[in-house]
Structure 1
């Protein structure tokens, strides 16, 4: 017997999209405020990058565990708990008295986001019946997330310059409370099938491995080779332990059988590349604009918004091309385009005008980012069985966030290692090398496209179906 659709479902979607918008916004808006935060709080050399990276690491590392918790304990209940934790951690961020306190609070925010995001998406899936309505709802959800990423640059500048960097966190509090109050009325509770356990050990080991890896990269320019090697070996050991845990777990975070698929591995390498390059390049560019050139946060936000606009256009073009020729050629071309964009960025000097280099570099990079992200997402999901679609989608989002944290750390370390002094010209020298280093990330993505093989590239019909859900 067919049940009647929930009459409040579109109001529920609006509420869930508001929460999703806030989660994505918080990952991007902080990049605008990083220079202001660094000036007001005390950080070690290169330590300010933990402000964006701490959020991304906890978000990506615990995302799959957050989805499992929501399935077992009730999605609406976990969603509301995540909102309250996000509100509390946002208050703690705004009132942070030292750099260490802010990094700790950002980590709590990332944990809250890792609970919020999968529970919200699961509620969307259970609220709308399979078919045209669900596809429309997922499209609105995806578009809202895209707008959140774009809005970070535009909102962050006026808030940082007008009210202070603390308010990029304080504005989350009324949003969280509003959504939490309305959630019991508009959202239906549900649980996942079966009684699977929590793979807490797997979540802890992989997150610890990532934290040690990022720490090793951050400290590399100022540490001895022996210490860096020791940290790298510790990270590798923790990753190996994670694989062992997943092999023996009755309810693993990531079923290792997924990695037998070249499409899954290749697609996730491509997705990770976009996290590495997009977060890393944005972090370096905000340092270049605000620290080396003295650009205000408002002006920086307007200057960097061209990247987001180009990414939106690129994603539309990319989806159309993928449905015709498959994800592999689109991803490969997009990666090369983004590499060209980063090369243009590397030509900037302390005296460059915005329309001489930055505008063109950001536009070219953004177009590649938009098209390539769509191609990578479709590739990562195109060879996944129905029972694995949820975890495969979570894995794709996790690898992007993790890539972002590592990308910020890596390019910041490169910039620090190649900055001979503190004058604008000397700072710019380090940033130019960092922009060039984006090609190392592009190489990882091109390896991912090679793994896709012809089988993935020649399945445009399946790609069309996956595109509706990505």
Structure 2
């Protein structure tokens, strides 16, 4: 068989590799949030119905969450540089199409294509991190920077989206990705080289179809709960189909596939199993913080969209600083200690945030608790990603990275839909505190080191 390509970073300075993968992660997560502020302008200009407008966001999230598993496996089979560059190219081309869209249908298709590009890109960045930074201290610092970039992208998106929409037009929330993508493609071609190793295997088609279709159906069904009851056919039908397809995926991987997309033996690694379970819950924590705090500022305290983004900036700065600090502490303190400390901050911060109401002021009602929650996220997220991917066997780093990214993204997508039906903001934030406590309990399953 033909030789399989494997990405290395021979000759490239570590700072360039880290800057490349951090910038990729920033762009992918930025695109989740930057569009929200522009939605009213998009609806007005293109004539979206309220239901159709939701697919400007949901189309991206569904493709992103549903296709990360095959994206991670493809990175192992076809080379990490190849997948990273291909993901950047697709993401940039789809951004151009979205910015030039003149009909709702074209914009939604472009958003789905953006999600596919992100699903190729995100696991590849994790593989590059794991293969480029082998020293535990250097790897921990790299994960801290990568995590901080993603978290910052989620919050900065609201500010940048508001500025671009107000100062230029909504089209620029998409078009801004085109020059950024071109620069990153050039950087990837410069920083990452290819070597020949092993052999190229066929992609597990049955596993890819059942796994991707199952995740997509499950997330789609949960998303429908925002406008329909959980017992309606629009919700229960896709969820049931998703469960059946995911069960079929497990059977395929365990008994049918000769080269499974997700070898089930990976879950025998305690870090992989416990780390992915925690990342699934953690997706709901992150949504509870960034998305619902933004709504609290606007709906309850009367902030404008841009002011709400600026109001979350101190928390974003805190997250970035603490994530970098956690990266330095991880090799000495261990994953379990940092996760428990982070979860303590999450429980206390969300409990405090649940007390906010119409009579609250920004400093004591929102700023104080969000700084505490952001510190908890900064301690926990890079640690969880490092723990969930550190035990990846040789040649399966992309698979493990895709699995970790999928767990976090699916958790966020499901968390958003579930929390949106939970009731008032106090209930949402109390659920966030409960998720923090559950993650703390699961962290006890991690290896001590």
Normalised TM-score (structure 2): 0.82
Q: SS at the partner of 2:259?
A: coil
> How big is the shift at 1:111?
0.6
Q: 2:219·2:413 contact (CA, 8 Å) conserved in 1?
A: yes
Q: 1:207 to 1:233 in 2, by over 3 A?
A: same
Instruction: Give the corresponding residue for 2:411.
Output: 403
Instruction: Give the corresponding residue for 2:375.
Output: 367
Q: Cα deviations across residues 23-71 of structure 1 (Å, max 9, x unaligned)?
A: 23223433554566567663546x7555444434422332242243344
Instruction: Give the corresponding residue for 2:117.
Output: 112
Instruction: Give the corresponding residue for 2:439.
Output: 445
Q: 2:327·2:382 contact (CA, 8 Å) conserved in 1?
A: yes
Q: 1:160·1:168 contact (CA, 8 Å) conserved in 2?
A: yes
1:87 aligns to 2:92 (yes or no): yes
CA distance in 2, matches of 1:80, 1:376: 26
CA distance in 1, matches of 2:289, 2:420: 9
Q: SS at the partner of 1:160?
A: helix
Instruction: Give the corresponding residue for 2:175.
Output: 170
> How big is the shift at 1:278?
0.6
1:436 aligns to 2:433 (yes or no): no
1:306 aligns to 2:314 (yes or no): yes
Q: 1:56·1:110 contact (CA, 8 Å) conserved in 2?
A: yes
Q: 2:326·2:383 contact (CA, 8 Å) conserved in 1?
A: yes
Q: 1:250 to 1:134 in 2, by over 3 A?
A: farther
Moved more, 370-379 or 323-332: 323-332
> How big is the shift at 1:237?
0.6
Alignment of 1:123-162 (within 5 A): 138=142, 144-145=149-150, 147-149=152-154, 151-162=156-167
Moved more, 297-306 or 182-191: 182-191
Q: 1:412 to 1:42 in 2, by over 3 A?
A: farther
Q: SS at the partner of 2:202?
A: coil
Instruction: Give the corresponding residue for 1:240.
Output: 247
1:25 aligns to 2:33 (yes or no): no
CA distance in 2, matches of 1:160, 1:314: 31
For residue 60 of structure 1, the aligned residue among 61, 65, 73 is 65
CA distance in 2, matches of 1:448, 1:83: 35
Q: 1:78 to 1:301 in 2, by over 3 A?
A: same
> How big is the shift at 1:262?
3.4
Q: 1:42·1:99 contact (CA, 8 Å) conserved in 2?
A: yes
> How big is the shift at 1:154?
4.0
Alignment of 1:45-444 (within 5 A): 50-96=55-101, 101-119=106-124, 122=127, 138=142, 144-145=149-150, 147-149=152-154, 151-180=156-185, 187-190=192-195, 193-220=198-225, 222-223=228-229, 225-227=231-233, 228-247=235-254, 248-291=256-299, 293-319=301-327, 322-381=330-389, 383-386=391-394, 388-414=396-422, 418=423, 430-442=424-436, 444=438
CA distance in 2, matches of 1:213, 1:381: 24
Moved more, 300-309 or 26-35: 26-35
Q: SS at the partner of 1:222?
A: coil
Q: SS at the partner of 1:108?
A: helix
Q: 2:133·2:142 contact (CA, 8 Å) conserved in 1?
A: no
Moved more, 400-409 or 189-198: 189-198
CA distance in 2, matches of 1:238, 1:107: 21
Unaligned segments of structure 2, at least 5 residues: 1-7
Q: 1:90·1:169 contact (CA, 8 Å) conserved in 2?
A: yes
> How big is the shift at 1:436?
2.8
Q: 1:58·1:110 contact (CA, 8 Å) conserved in 2?
A: yes
CA distance in 1, matches of 2:338, 2:142: 23
CA distance in 2, matches of 1:397, 1:368: 19
CA distance in 2, matches of 1:15, 1:315: 18
> How big is the shift at 1:377?
2.6
Q: SS at the partner of 1:253?
A: coil
RMSD, aligned CA: 3.6
Normalised TM-score (structure 1): 0.78
Q: 1:311·1:366 contact (CA, 8 Å) conserved in 2?
A: yes
Q: 1:209·1:239 contact (CA, 8 Å) conserved in 2?
A: yes
Q: SS at the partner of 2:67?
A: helix
Q: 1:446 to 1:138 in 2, by over 3 A?
A: closer
Q: 1:98 to 1:402 in 2, by over 3 A?
A: farther
The count of aligned residue pairs is 437
Q: SS at the partner of 1:259?
A: helix
CA distance in 2, matches of 1:240, 1:278: 28
